[in-house]
Chains A and B, each alone.
Chain A
Amino acid sequence: MFRQLLSSQIIIYHLILFLSFSLSVNYFVDLVFINYLSYVLFHLTLIYLVFYFLHFSIVPISFLYGIFFDIFLIDYISPHLICFLVFVFLFYYSKKYLLNFSAKTISYIMLGLTLLMFISEALLANIFFNYPINYQNLSWLLFTLLIVFFPSLFIFSKIDKL
């Protein structure tokens, strides 16, 4: 059971997750694009991990990252935690339907899911905690996502071949 957990690819993905998490929660006023990039990369990596290396351990990991993202970025727990857990559980119980899709379709599903996660996090923060939906931030996230999506998939596929 733990062999899969300790494979070199999984370790690399978890390192990417932790580094992008660390960069996302530390705001750099003069290098704000790094924050956007790391925030996007974190979501992408998590989705990729869930799609291609699904293991039950991803549930507690998403739970912890969701809590810490909420504590550090919002100070109240909900939006990230709900989004991550809902996504992981939805995938966990619908994976048999996704097996039929081609690689290209899955790439687009991942792109759509990442965007959907950004929007739902902003919406939940707005509904629960009165944080206004910042369209400028969302556009920057979308812009960054479109730029880094295919290069990241390319890097991820290289990591997979390690």
Chain B
Amino acid sequence: MALSFKVKAISRSRFLKNFLVSIIFFLSFFLIFFSKSEYFLVNKFKSISNNYLYPITSFFVAPVKVISYIQTELYEFRNLKFENNILKEEVIRLKKWQALAIHNNSENKVLKKLLNSTDSSLTLIKTASLISRNDFMFSKMININAGIKDGVLNDMAVVNYRGLVGRTIDTSIGNSRVLLLTDPNSSIAVKTISNSNYSLLQGSDDGIHLVSTFNKDEKLPRVGDLVITSGSAQVFPSNILVGKIVKVTKEIFYVLPFVDFKNIDYVQVVENK
């Protein structure tokens, strides 16, 4: 049970208190009002907090990070034999695909020469690694160790080997925050590969799937269709893999992203050529 009640309030210097309360009220109002409108002073404040406070908090939670790392290692070690068998089977399957891919690649090169087309539309800005994650309670964000000094700016596309991860927000000199696709406030213009249904996607309530918020011509795709970026919103380059449609209802459809957001180590910041 709690101790019996005793307030040790000190009431000295009334003027100073009132002055401080007024300043705090004014600052709160300023920050709340301008935070939503992304005013540059608030953005600067966010960048500074990210740059200086994060390393301090990371230092204090280092022992927990070590425990988490050991736990992951132990889990992987226990599953080593099982994983080895799966990998052996996968190697056999991939060898067959590799032969086919080499054949297709050489054919593609010849066809591109014939059509005089340009190559990949993406330019790699920087490959960065994950510093910390912020997708615990509300938003879905990660911090990466690439910033303005590496040429990373706000609203650049972030990908990994599986597909689209998100876009950069709050870039500072050495770090950037990435708003993941699964965040309810992220919006992506996409199209399906099979029949080019154009839609807008945003993070769903479960934090795992993406849900459509707008479908062009009210056409709905089918379950199993692959979804790629359409490039029409000018934020994400076109033709980056996003995910696979797993559920279609009367008005909306759900997409399971290809990227495993719980296991992100390295990402690449890219932009249109």
Contact = CB atoms under 8 A, between A and B. Distances in A.
B1 A153 contact: yes
A52 B253 CA distance: 52
A103 B3 contact: yes
Nearest to A76: B35
Interface string B1-42: 111111111101000010011001001100110011000001
B78 to A, nearest CB: 14
Contacts of A103: 1-5
Contact of A131 (B46, B61, B139): B139
B137 interface: yes
Contact of B8 (A26, A55, A63): A55
B205 interface: yes
Contacts of B61: 22-23, 26
B2 A63 contact: no
Interface in A102-152: 102-104, 106-107, 110, 125, 128-132, 134, 137, 150
A25 B68 contact: no
A77 to B, nearest CB: 4
Contact of A27 (B3, B54, B135): B135
A29 interface: yes
Interface in B125-170: 132-139, 141, 169-170
Nearest to B38: A76
Interface in A13-41: 18-19, 21-32, 34-35, 39
B50 interface: yes
B170 A85 contact: no
A85 B28 contact: yes
Contact of B136 (A35, A85, A130): A35
A51 interface: yes
A19 B60 CA distance: 7
A103 B3 CA distance: 6
Interface residues of A, number: 67
Contact of A26 (B35, B42, B133, B177): B133
Contacts of A95: 7, 9
A28 B68 contact: yes
B170 to A, nearest CB: 7
Contacts of B2: 48, 51-52, 103-104, 106-107, 110, 153, 156-157
A130 B185 contact: yes
Contacts of B36: 76, 78, 128-129
B115 interface: no
Interface of B: 1-10, 12, 17, 20-21, 24, 27-28, 31-32, 35-36, 42, 45-46, 49-50, 53-54, 56-58, 60-61, 64-65, 67-68, 71-72, 75, 132-139, 141, 169-170, 177, 179, 184-185, 205, 207, 262-263
Interface of A: 1, 4, 18-19, 21-32, 34-35, 39, 48, 51-56, 59-60, 63, 67-68, 70-79, 81-82, 85, 95, 98-99, 101-104, 106-107, 110, 125, 128-132, 134, 137, 150, 153, 156-157, 160
The 6 closest A-B pairs by CB, nearest first: A22-B57, A27-B133, A77-B35, A27-B136, A132-B205, A22-B60
Given A27-B132, A55-B8, A59-B21, 12 more contacts: A22-B56, A27-B134, A52-B3, A54-B8, A71-B46, A75-B177, A81-B31, A103-B1, A106-B5, A129-B185, A132-B205, A134-B205
